[in-house]
Chains A and B, each alone.
Chain A
């Protein structure tokens, strides 16, 4: 007998454990369900809170679960799970509960901890029989939803029979209330963040618009200042004495300086607003450095400053935004000349290293103190290098840093006070993946029949010709110097070539001669577009057409049509 009783007890024990385990599993599943919703729908609070009331009702084995949120000084029904008629639901929603002991919600809010009323009809303090009638509950339990110690709402479960909730149900409900509170906080944070972001976007747009219109407003009078000083300096309306000329030059260069400053402010605001778009092309770094040196040569020689340029072998063309990189080079060079005392030296070096092109500008100037070396790249900082003759804008290095970073590169300074500074920047060498390189390896890949090679070192001419040719359904590949141009034509076998005469490396005449001398390229029609009016010479050397710059749209289209591939030309 004892054995049988023991076996019965054991069976009950096993059964109880099995039930507990199943329950625990179910709770775990529900909790992770709520957590999943919580993580997914940060902006969809309703989904989270609905999932909370559903799980609370199921796991506490309640008939109805509800969330009341504190609005003003009363609790208002926000979510319900369970079998409640539409009428009753509406009644509850329309009758907020006061913060007093007359309801469970009020009591939970006052006590700030879980509360239970085992039988509402037997509770002497309960003061809302109307709510009880419409809710139809007898036993009710609730826990506060706390945010930073403040009650923001109450999570409540009801049973229609008198059947008090267990300790375990209280714990569960507390877990859910905590999750609901977190969800509310997350949504508040997300909403606040979105509102702030929207405000910032509006502010940033206003700033950009303001700068754009300011820049126009400031430019217009500046153009007059610069233009009229030029008129006088050109002596269009009479001679000048030395003093007058000197002052006019001061007016003119101050105007130019202001214009530069304006452009830098505008560029910088464009970078900050993420609106600066790079226009990468392939160009010769050596020439860009030469261009920069040419611009500072006059000032350097006035101050007896020696200039040097050393480009290591292996520094080929780079692919980057030519105008922007030139801007960086000019900025570093003019700083170096500005901060180098009379009789000093500025050395420019370029080399490639680990897939990058490095450019350094070393001066024998005043140097930059260690504590200023980071700061100097931030807006309106000039370190301690504020010489009395300084007219730097304080924006140049900031802008240079942004430009280099847009190219995926970096900029730095090494310096010793009193000895000099070396500013350097590195950008990816960007092994030029041009159509020409592809064509040399695999000539079949590029459709030479629809391609025009434009050989011109003037960006504006290339832009213009590109627009015209693209309108005619052609693809344009451009080269900035004669040597590169000949390589491109050999590699691409284009339908035609548009050739400028005044070019770096090989000039247009040499390009024309070498194309006509090579059987592989002799048959490709060449249209010369140049400021030089030397039509007979061009035609004698084998050019198919000769246009003098500036060219009209019709002139170009007509020449393309007569010399180019048999294509369907738009009749304009």
Chain B
């Protein structure tokens, strides 16, 4: 459990470092990408246990990156959590309708991040009839 790999796709250097350091502190392994393109390549090369995906990215945006993750066999089953600064109800619904496994709102809570990630991982492991 402690060695689960979390892929962080985030274009802002400092926010990336923050999430990475907090997750590493909590015993996760991390991989990082600053663009959706890099993230997609990394994810299919070695599929992570969970992807934290920033929605506002340069180039391919988060929504499109999510579709590509789901559409590609090596990553289709990897849970994806949206990380978003948008906090409107419409945005939340848009994210959930798109089929994300969950979302985190910025600013992320340093105190709760690890337990939130653990909870998303547990939820994704629940048996389903797919």
The distance in angstroms between the C-alpha atoms of A479 and B111, with both chains bound, is: 29
- Give the contacting residue for A467; candidates B14, B96, B101, B123; CB below 8 A: B96
Given contacts A223-B106, A547-B126, A553-B101, contact A231 B96 (CB under 8 A): no
Q: With a CB–CB cut-off of 8 A, which chain A residues contact B41? A: none
Contact digits for B89-123, partner A, Cβ 8 Å, 1 yes 0 no: 10011001101011000111111000010011011
Q: With a CB–CB cut-off of 8 A, which chain B residues contact A227? A: 15, 18, 22, 107-108, 110
Of the listed stretches A18-26, A104-112, A214-222, A364-372, name the one at the interface; the rest are far from the partner chain: A214-222
- Give the contacting residue for B18; candidates A231, A471, A547, A549; CB below 8 A: A231
* A464 close to B96 (CB less than 8 A): yes
Q: With a CB–CB cut-off of 8 A, which chain B residues contact A216? A: 56, 85
Contact digits for A448-473, partner B, Cβ 8 Å, 1 yes 0 no: 00000000000010011001100100
Given contacts A223-B107, A230-B110, contact A471 B25 (CB under 8 A): no
B124 within 8 A of partner (CB): yes
Given contacts A223-B107, A231-B110, A553-B96, contact A279 B128 (CB under 8 A): no
Interface of A is mostly: helix
* B101 close to A552 (CB less than 8 A): yes
Nearest opposing residue in chain A for B87, CB measure: A263
* B15 close to A552 (CB less than 8 A): no
CB within 8 Å of B: which of A480-537? 531
The distance in angstroms between the C-alpha atoms of A379 and B20, with both chains bound, is: 40
- Give the contacting residue for A236; candidates B25, B56, B109; CB below 8 A: B25
CB distance from A171 to the nearest CB of B (A): 64
Q: With a CB–CB cut-off of 8 A, which chain B residues contact A234? A: 110-111
Q: With a CB–CB cut-off of 8 A, which chain B residues contact A237? A: 25
The distance in angstroms between the C-alpha atoms of A228 and B25, with both chains bound, is: 13
Q: With a CB–CB cut-off of 8 A, which chain B residues contact A231? A: 18, 21-22, 25, 110
CB distance from B52 to the nearest CB of A (A): 14
Nearest opposing residue in chain B for A255, CB measure: B107
B129 within 8 A of partner (CB): yes
Q: With a CB–CB cut-off of 8 A, which chain A residues contact B21? A: 231, 236
The distance in angstroms between the C-alpha atoms of A464 and B14, with both chains bound, is: 30
A240 within 8 A of partner (CB): no
Q: With a CB–CB cut-off of 8 A, which chain A residues contact B120? A: 550
Interface residues of A, Cβ cutoff 8 Å to B: 216, 219-224, 226-228, 230-231, 234, 236-237, 259, 279, 460, 463-464, 467-468, 471, 531, 547-555, 558, 572
List 20 other contacts, CB 8 Å, given A228-B18, A237-B25: A220-B85, A224-B15, A231-B21, A234-B110, A234-B111, A236-B25, A279-B89, A463-B92, A463-B96, A464-B96, A467-B93, A549-B119, A550-B116, A550-B119, A552-B124, A552-B128, A553-B101, A555-B123, A555-B128, A558-B129
A-B contacts, 8 listed (Cβ < 8 Å) = A216-B85, A223-B108, A227-B18, A230-B109, A279-B89, A468-B96, A471-B97, A553-B101
